[in-house]
Amino acid sequence: MTTSRSTRNTAPEKAAPAAAGLELPAAALTRLADAAERLVEGLAHLAPAPAPAIDWNGAVAFRWRRRNGQGQLLPVTHRHRIDLADLQGVDTQKKLVDQNTRQFVQGAPANNVLLTGARGTGKSSLVKAVLNKYAPKKLRLIEVDKQDLLDLPEIVDAISARPERFILYCDDLSFEADEPGYKALKTVLDGSISAASENVLVYATSNRRHLMPEYMNENLEYRHVGEEIHPGETSEEKISLSERFGLWVSFWPFTQDEYLAIVDHWLAHFGVTDIGSPQVREAALQWALGRSSRSGRIAWHFARDWAGRQQLGRQQKRPRG
């Protein structure tokens, strides 16, 4: 018996076109280009705008602010216009800071300044007063907040070539041991491999002389070497920052007579006529007693309140036409 075998013929498949020969339609290319253009435009909106040019003659005080990851100097349009003559009871402190600032403005060697002591005694006001006095001689002030102290090298680089003289002002400064701004300030004051800019000084105010908290257990680190007492490493580290300020200016609480003299000064400033009367004296002392402080700030607050009451009383007594 003969068996016939059937064979199946399979047609060869068509070869796929090579990948290199693929071409996108023109419409798809256009859509892809449009999408890429929209992406670039969106990213451009996210990028920070360039900082505006600084008009150094348009203002004498500036604030350093960081926005969208970019730092810039913003002019202070309404600065505190206090004069040195308005600061009462701090004649020694005024003389020290005024002399140092005069040296700096005139191009002579001068020191960084640390103003410390009791609250409300005129530390910040003294810095503002010397700025107002020497602004016509191209003194400028840049206020830097504690959280922005890491930007100090950037600020110094931006102003080092300017002809003006700059005070970098840090108000109410204090640190905890692990804060990064602490080391940044040390470096700017004295400690960087680069020399300090000769047209920049740092003026700082603080209620703490060494700018950092001091704890009882740090006394246990002190060592006796013969007749001498040597501080421990923790205390040495804290002192190392304040020692970088060449001029220390200390402020103390005012006596009652000094407080009342400041009250009289500000009452005269506001045009009050019954200065020194028993009524004013008693009211001023009661005001200080209620705030547990006899400071220049408390005297200023009392004078504003008293003058405002007097003015309002006179207005109410006027006959209405």
Alpha-carbon torsion angle 189, 92, 165, 243, nearest 10: 0
| Pairing assessment for the beta strands 247-251 and 200-206 based on DSSP bridges | unpaired
Closest-CA residue to 159 (of 145, 141, 134): 141
Q: Among residues 117, 137, 124, 136, which one has the least CA distance to residue 252?
A: 117
Rounded-to-integer distance, Cα 51 and Cα 54, Å: 9
- Round to whole Å and give the CA distance between 280 and 268: 12
pTM of the predicted model as reported, rounded to 2 decimal places: 0.74
pLDDT at residue 247 in the model? 94
Q: Report yes or no: 280 and 261 within 8 Å, Cβ to Cβ.
A: no
* Positions in the chain whose pLDDT score sits under 70: 1-24, 41-52, 175-179, 182, 191-195, 209-239, 319-321
Task: Indicate the angle between helix axes 296-317 and 278-291, nearest 10 degrees.
Answer: 130
pLDDT attached to residue 18:
47
Output the CA–CA distances (angstroms, integers) from residue 95 to 90, 101, 179, 227, in the order listed: 9, 10, 33, 37
Rg, Å, the chain Cα set = 34
Helix (H/G/I), strand (E/B), else coil: 168: strand
Sheet bearing 165-170, strands edge to edge: 70-75, 61-67, 139-143, 165-170, 200-206, 113-117, 247-251
Q: What is the pLDDT of residue 28?
A: 76
